[in-house]
Chain A
Amino acid sequence: MSNDQDKILEEVTGSDYKYGFVTDIENDAIAKGLSEDTVRLISEKKKEPEWLLEYRLNAYRHWLTMEQKEWAHLDIPEIDFQNIIYYSAPKPKKELASMDEVDPDLRETFEKLGIPLDEQKLLSGVAVDAVMDSVSVKTTFKQNLAELGIIFCSFSEAVQEYPDLVKKYLGSVVPSRDNYYAALNSAVFSDGSFCYIPKGVRCPMELSTYFRINAANTGQFERTLIVADEGSYVSYLEGCTAPQRDENQLHAAIVEIYVHKDAEVKYSTVQNWYPGDKEGKGGIYNFVTKRGMLHGDNSKLSWTQVETGSAITWKYPSCILKGNNSTAEFYSVAVTNNYQQADTGTKMIHIGKNTKSTIVSKGISAGKSNNSYRGLVKVAKGAENARNFSQCDSMLLGDKCGAHTYPYLEVDNPTAIVEHEATTSKIGEDQIFYCNQRGIETEDAIGLIVNGYAKEVLNQLPMEFAVEAQKLLQISLEGSVG
């Protein structure tokens, strides 16, 4: 491609991460390091019941016996788990009058991130649980939702208020020994969101969790648990950002979704953790286990993700299609630029009869990044008439990046139809010229073309998110065509 475009590339790839600020606030943090005592301390700080401490300790003891697997197409520097702070809570400057009151500094932080915590200022259709470092800061619209019997609160609050529900579902989808980072999370998770939609209730607004890492040297280990009871519906959004720092920070979360008979859950993520600078310094290690159990017949779960942030992303939002006629979808756009690495995809485990899954993955690699799709489609023996269709496309911008596709199809039933298709392409010089000739600048042309390429996925996002995501895509890729 031409020199001019190379120049634009040089100029703009280092475009600023606009969420990179730090909130100057005092923290109630525990000392660095990880041991049984750390686990006990976290549990104690959260005034947890005995059974939960046991759960954590079991996970911790098992974690000690585990090794990190190396099958992912990632170059992960060794992580010193003793050099991480496992609990850090922003300390309010003054005693707050009620649980619903928010420290002004925190309020300001979230406002800067575009997440006002005043219900009046919020978009009317979205309830937010705002999480900073290890604790939930505020959950909005709790009252309105409670009227419908919907529980939407921080995980810590759920442990205190609804222990039976938490006990019943915690670890039911992602067992504490599932994998290295799931075990770690199960031992040291601090806070997160809990959501329960009762039988037959259609949640009238989007529920949303916004995760913010603020404190330095801190790992964020949050936990989200969503339970959709029979015949219910909820659409859930997740967003995340972190300050710009030279050192890497670890984020190892778990999201569990339990979908009962005839229920439907849509889970959308716009992941924009700090990706590191253009030299590849700093950024978040995003090692996340997300899984949904489609337990009941006719249940439905849809994952949509727009992944633009993090230095390293390792995540495979998955679905276990246990109920008959259950339907699962995975839509993903993953963008990597500069030195980012992403190994992401999904697992679709077909167990029930007449189950159906769809995978649409669009990878975009730029700079010196590596972007891999890795997905498993498994059709178990009894899964009569299982259907899967996967479409995995990669787009390369520049010749210093990599795009990889690793699908695994395991079919154990003769009535299954499983199809996988993948393509790799680049933005054509002729496409850009065509746009240029119509007066559209190269930057905008790339934005247009990339958004067109990712449209199938972006269309799955709720309106407010879709616009945000489109902008994000363009910002993440600014000038990256060479």
Chain B
Amino acid sequence: MLSIKNLKANINGKEILKGINLEVKAGEVHAIMGPNGSGKSTLASVLAGREIFEVTDGHVEYMGEDLLELSVEERASKGIFLGFQYPVEIPGVSMVNFMKAAVNAQRKHRGEEPINASEFLKLMREKKDIVELDSKLTGRSVNEGFSGGEKKRNEIFQMAMLEPKLSILDETDSGLDIDALRIVANGVTKLKNKDNATVVITHYQRLLDYIVPDFVHVLYKGKIIKSGTKELALELEEKGYDWLIKDL
């Protein structure tokens, strides 16, 4: 589904990604771990198409297409979903209008008619249960006045609404207490199937108790320095990153 080859990216002339290689197939869950500043969030942003990052080298193939040629919204319409580490507040724009615009953008891309109002509301009701999102929140402006945990749940809610093929969850666990973490992780697990894939970016092994990864990669200074299975995450939890770095 996703094939990253020697991906390099800059911000303001500073190289952050220094040659990433990664293969993600349908039905898989990948976890990317690494210390602060290793480039995890940059990788997520580059895959989503954030333009402040400049791709200087490498290739990314997604569903047989050159991903780097696509605009942000084209990528989104083709099924790439980024769960933001810091979801943005958009004052005055209700969640309902926002989601309707997003769902219709996707439908338009597939050549379908816009969703009708009752169908849409039904969909909203159905999906918000997945993350136990309060219906009050869907009536409010996008992320405005949401608590940290509500924002993260809202991200997973949107993921449920949009049914992406490839979800990249950037530090979705940060700032969550254990209950919220469980809700979010359960949501992600419920949405998992054989046709989609998930890339989970995280600091802590904790999340991986709930979202069990097929592969774990360690990102350090813009490169993947080690890949393994979920046991690697446990090892990291126990020993930290130092032993890996020393090995370099």
User: Which A residues lie at the B interface, using CB under 8 A?
Assistant: 2, 4, 428, 430-431, 433-442, 444, 448-449, 451-456
Q: Are A439 and B106 in contact (CB under 8 A)?
A: yes
Q: Cβ of B158 and Cβ of A436 under 8 Å apart?
A: no
Q: Which residue of B lies closest to A454 (CB)?
A: B92
Residues of chain B at interface, number, CB under 8 A = 31
Interface membership of B72, Cβ < 8 A: yes
Task: Report the nearest A residue to B143, measured CB to CB.
Answer: A434
B-chain residues with CB within 8 Å of residue A430 when the two chains form the complex? 88
User: In whole angstroms, how far apart are the Cα atoms of A438 and B106 in the complex?
Assistant: 9
16 more CB-based (< 8 A) A-B contacts, given A436-B73, A453-B91: A428-B88, A433-B50, A433-B51, A434-B142, A437-B75, A438-B102, A438-B105, A439-B105, A439-B109, A440-B101, A442-B73, A448-B98, A449-B93, A451-B92, A452-B92, A454-B92
Q: How far is the CB of A424 from chain B (nearest CB, A)?
A: 14
Closest 6 CB pairs of A and B: A452-B92, A452-B93, A439-B76, A436-B72, A438-B102, A439-B105
CA of A435 to CA of B89, assembled, Å: 11
**Minimal beta-carbon separation of B97 from chain A (angstroms):** 7
Residues of chain A within 8 A (CB-CB) of B93 are 448-449, 451-452
Taking a contact as CB atoms under 8 Å apart, the answer to whether A434 and B90 are in contact is: yes
**Cβ of A452: which chain B residues have Cβ within 8 Å of it?**
90-94, 97, 141
Binary A-proximity of B136-148 (CB < 8 A = 1, otherwise 0): 0000011000000
CB-CB under 8 A for A4 and B102, given A430-B88, A438-B158? no
- B105 — which chain A residues lie within 8 A by C-beta? 438-441, 444
Are A437 and B72 touching (Cβ within 8 A)? Answer: yes
- B44 → chain A, closest Cβ, in Å? 10
Q: Which residues of B contact A456 (CB under 8 A)?
A: 92
Contact A433 B90 (CB under 8 A): no
Q: Which residues of B have CB within 8 Å of A451?
A: 92-93
Q: Output the least CB separation between A458 and chain B (Å).
A: 10
Shortest Cβ distance from residue A201 to the other chain B in the assembled complex, whole angstroms: 36
Contacts of A448 in B (CB 8 A): 90, 93, 97-98, 101
Q: Determine the chain A residues whose CB is within 8 A of the CB of B84 once the complex forms.
A: 434, 437
A-contact bits for B83-122, CB 8 A (1 contact / 0 none): 0100110111110011001100110010000000000000
Query: Does A431 lie within 8 Å of B90, measured CB to CB?
Result: yes
In whole angstroms, how far apart are the Cα atoms of A435 and B103 in the complex? 11
Cβ-based interface call for B77 (8 A): yes
As a 0/1 sequence over residues 52 to 96 of chain B, the CB contacts with chain A under 8 angstroms (1 = contact) are 000000000000000000011101110001101001101111100
Min CB distance, B145 to chain A, in Å?
A: 14
How near does chain B come to A360, taking the closest CB pair, in angstroms? 12
8 sampled A-B residue pairs with Cβ under 8 A: A430-B88, A433-B88, A438-B102, A440-B101, A441-B73, A441-B105, A444-B101, A444-B105
List residues 165-205 of chain B with CB under 8 A from any CB of chain A: none
Does B46 touch A at the CB level, under 8 Å? Answer: no
Closest-by-CB residue of A relative to B78 is A439
What residue in chain A is nearest B51 (Cβ atoms)? Answer: A2
The answer, yes or no, to whether B48 is at the interface (CB within 8 Å) is yes
Closest to A434 in B: B88
The reply on B219 being an interface residue by CB < 8 A is no
Rounded to whole angstroms, the CA-CA distance of A448 and B50 in the bound complex is 20
List residues of chain A with CB within 8 A of the CB of B92: 449, 451-456
* CB of B162 within 8 Å of the partner chain: yes
CB of B91 within 8 A of CB of A439, answer no
